[in-house]
Every structure is written in C-alpha cells, then in structure tokens.
Amino acid sequence: MPASPRSTLWIILGAAVLAGAAGLFLGKRMHPAPADAAAIAHGLAYPEPRPLAPFTLARADGKSLTLDDLRGRWSLLFIGFTHCPDVCPTTLTTFAQVEKQFAAAAPALTHQLVFVSVDPERDDAAQLRSYSEYFSPAIIAATGTKSELDAFTRQLGVLYVKVPLDGGDYTIDHSAQIMLIDPQARLAAIFRPPHDAGSIVADVRTLAGDR
C-alpha cells in the first residue's frame, strides 16, 4: 500500500535530519569551528556559514524581500503558514519574546525577524500582515509562488508538503527550526525546537561578538 503524504514527509524529514547531522559532524572534523561558534548553547552553528543564492519574495507590506535585505544584520528566519495549529504560533510567540530581550539586553545589535509562509494560496498580504502583527509588528512577513518558495526553502534545508484533510481542506507539514542568517547573508546556525528566547538571544550575541 503506498505511503500517505504525511508518512512520506516524516520519512524525508528523518533522512534529512540524519544527513544534516552527519554533514555537520564531518564538517566540524574537517573544518574546526571557531571558539565562539562552538560555545553557543542552544543552536547548532555551521563550521563554515553557507552563502545563500539570490531570491525574491513578496512582503506583506507590498515590498520585495531579497537577498540584499538579509545583508548587514543578523536575521532570525522561520518557515511556516498562518493556518498552522501549533508550531507556528508557538514560534512567533518566541519571536516576540526574542524581540523584547534584544531590546533589553542588546539594543545596539542590528537584527530582524522574518516569517515566510509556504501557503501562498491562503496567505495573501492582508492575512500575512494581520497574523504577523498579532505577535509583533517587528516581524517581516513574506511569501511567494510555489517555485520561488521551493527554491528558497531548498537552499535552507527546509522541507514542507501539502497534506490533504477530510472535507477538501489541507494543512502543511514543515520543518520547525529557526534559521540564523549572518550579516553576510549566509546561513550561520539553526535552532531546533523547543525554542527558548533567552537562549536564542544569547547565542546570537555570542556569534555576533556582543558578549
């Protein structure tokens, strides 16, 4: 009997996690991480940050989100969708807490919070803006066409799949990590759930040399 879309996703996710862990382990053996990267407590830092390819997505405010928008600051990036029942609202709540902690502990550290929806069918600009602003007006929300999203998420190592539900509705299963993009627009680290705002802020400050 063929596997369901949900079963297939978890098989793929499991393989991706194992492959990613093996890659990071081998990378650390071949290219030892600098002392500050090894010291982060909550996240997993790449021994050599991975440059991102150019992309263009549509922001909820009508502007474009491009690779250049990730340069010059530390960006915390999460992939999800607004109809997500649990992981996304929990993560964006963490984003709101992260923003408050940055303001209190490291106000001079230039950073931004980015939420990218992989559900362009339902998440138009108005929906994205309303959803993200509920958690924090500081969150930059964006989406794109399926081909744009596929290319963008692939280079980040994020997986997602549309899963049909009874009655013609659907949900989306997706990876749940928060990604850290450095000021050179490179994937520098990932934060796996469960997420803790204080630990994330501490790790970003460590990588940024702010502590």
* Predicted local distance difference test score (pLDDT) of residue 2: 45
Beta-carbon neighbour count of residue 79 at 10 Å? Answer: 25
Task: Give 25-93 as a DSSP string.
Answer: HHHHHHSPPPHHHHT-SSSEEEEEEEEPPP-EEEETTSSEEEGGGGBTSEEEEEEE-TT-SSHHHHHHH
Q: What is the pLDDT of residues 109-143, one digit of tens each?
A: 999 999 999 999 999 999 999 999 999 999 999 99
CA distances in angstroms from 194 to 20, 79, 136, listed in the order given: 18, 15, 20
* Predicted local distance difference test score (pLDDT) of residue 60: 98
Contacts of 166 (CB under 8 A, 6+ apart): none
Q: What is the pLDDT of residues 125-134, one digit of tens each?
A: 999 999 999 9
Q: Output Rg (C-alpha) for the chain, integer angstroms.
A: 17
Q: How many domains does the chain have?
A: 1
Domain of 124, CATH number, reads 3.40.30.10
pLDDT band at 211; cut points 50, 70, 90: low
pLDDT band at 41; cut points 50, 70, 90: confident
* Predicted local distance difference test score (pLDDT) of residue 28: 35
Pick the more confident residue, 90 or 28.
90
Pick the more confident residue, 31 or 98.
98
pLDDT over threshold 50, residue 1: no
Containing structural domain, residue 76? 5-208
* Entry pTM: 0.82
Across the beta sheet with 178-181, what order do the strands follow? 44-51, 186-191, 178-181, 74-80, 111-117, 139-143, 56-59, 64-66
